[in-house]
Amino acid sequence: MIKHLLSSVAFVLISAAAMAQCTPNPAYAAEGAGIWPDTTDNLPCAYADNANGYQEVIDVKTATDTTISIEFNGIPVTVIAYIEAFRINSVEGLPAGFSYIPDQTVWTNGGSAPNFTPIQGCVQIVAAQNTLQGIISSSPAGQDFPITVVVDVKIKETNNPLVNTLAGNTWLSELTAIPGITAINYQGYTLKVRPTDDGTCQPLSIESEKLSNQFAVQGNFPNPFTGSTEIRFTSPSTKEVRVEVRDMVGKTVITKTILAKTGSNAVNIKSDKLIPGIYFYTISDGKTSFSRKMVVSGN
């Protein structure tokens, strides 16, 4: 539920020349808040034969407000939340020896509520060559590490003075007064470590990458949508698959569990109970998760 994209990180991956603190890429200055690349494009490979180790950058573009629906004293209320700042609480799943280095601990928007202005920032993910070689020594073919980026958002105030007593000047991860609102877990990235740079970042098992033999998400169609959309995915076998749709403050608004069949599948999501705006959905088969963005343009 939003007015602008609150998950607030624009993820764009670029090569870094050194392990020094990163510099935001000016190429994204005119972009709106968003996430690039999505989990299909994924993180670049880490190669153990690279003397410079692993050095990649996540570029950040903040958002300034979002529309949220909450319960206040038992009554549903829709408010505009003015966003003061963002931070990354953690990058979960990084193997030992990897670290992430933000250019700022907190990215604070310019201006003041209700007229905040977005800013750019970046986070560098780094590891020394001996870290990569250590992984390869125990797994000669390489290893894949699922990564979750935990994004936190600070709401300065809202356009409702009563709600401000609960939500004002608070990080989502600390907002215990409103049930169901948490920091945002952006799942679906994989850090792949391989022994040598062959220019292709080969999968651990080529056969496992065939569309008919892997759990993979193609996206939701149409997107943006009014009325309904289909989340399309493939499954290697008959299994339960869980779909969770979250609004821009991390609150779960839809959950579904379906029995997927081998091959192509689709999950229908209706917009009749959703406020127009941007949402994130996560689809998981219990082992692998993918996160995507969907836009509700109307009911």
Tell me: do 190 and 213 sit in the same domain.
no
Tell me: do 23 and 87 sit in the same domain.
yes
pLDDT, average across residues 262-273: 90
Cα 298 from chain centre = 24
Tell me: do 17 and 155 sit in the same domain.
yes
Residue 6 belongs to a domain:
no
Residue 102 belongs to a domain:
yes
Tell me: do 252 and 130 sit in the same domain.
no
Rounded distance, CA 70 to CA 1, Å?
11
Residue 2 belongs to a domain:
no
Rounded distance, CA 59 to CA 48, Å?
24
86 burial (CB, 10 Å; 0-12 / 13-18 / 19+) is buried
Look up the CATH number of the domain holding residue 272: 2.60.40.1930
Rounded distance, CA 177 to CA 21, Å?
36
Cβ neighbours, 10 Å, residue 8: 29
3-state secondary structure 203-231: CCCHHHHCHHHCCEEEEEECCCEECEEEE
Report helix, strand or coil for 188: strand
pLDDT, average across residues 164-186: 79
Report whether pLDDT(111) > 90. yes
Tell me: do 76 and 132 sit in the same domain.
yes
Report whether pLDDT(244) > 60. yes
Q: Looking at 95-99, 110-114, 179-183, 242-246, which range is the least confident one?
A: 179-183
Angle at 162 between CA 159 and CA 164, to 5 degrees: 60
User: 225 is in which domain, residue-wise?
Assistant: 206-298
H-helix segments, the chain: 129-138, 161-167
How many domains, the chain? 2
Tell me: do 84 and 186 sit in the same domain.
yes
Which pLDDT band, with edges at 50, 70 and 90, does 51 fall under?
very high
Question: Could you tell me whether strands 277-284 and 239-246 are parallel, antiparallel, or unpaired per DSSP bridges?
Answer: antiparallel
Residue 88 belongs to a domain:
yes
Report whether pLDDT(10) > 50. no
From 194, 221, 256, the end of a domain falls on 194
Tell me: do 162 and 121 sit in the same domain.
yes
Residue 210 belongs to a domain:
yes
Over residues 66-97, the pLDDT tens digits come to 877 777 777 788 888 899 999 999 999 999 99
Tell me: do 106 and 157 sit in the same domain.
yes
From 162, 194, 226, the end of a domain falls on 194
Which pLDDT band, with edges at 50, 70 and 90, does 40 fall under?
low
Tell me: do 50 and 190 sit in the same domain.
yes
Residue 59 belongs to a domain:
yes
Query: Is residue 131 within 8 Å of residue 98, measured between CB atoms?
Result: yes
From 135, 161, 194, the end of a domain falls on 194
**The two three-digit tokens of residue 82, written as one number:** 């003015």
Tell me: do 177 and 232 sit in the same domain.
no
Tell me: do 214 and 293 sit in the same domain.
yes
Count Cα atoms within 13 angstroms, Cβ side, for 296.
25
Token pair 């986070």: residue: 123
pTM score of the predicted model: 0.71
Tell me: do 48 and 189 sit in the same domain.
yes
Residue 8 belongs to a domain:
no
Residue 200 belongs to a domain:
no
Nearest Cα residue to 278 out of 295, 292, 299, 298 = 295
pLDDT, average across residues 23-50: 82
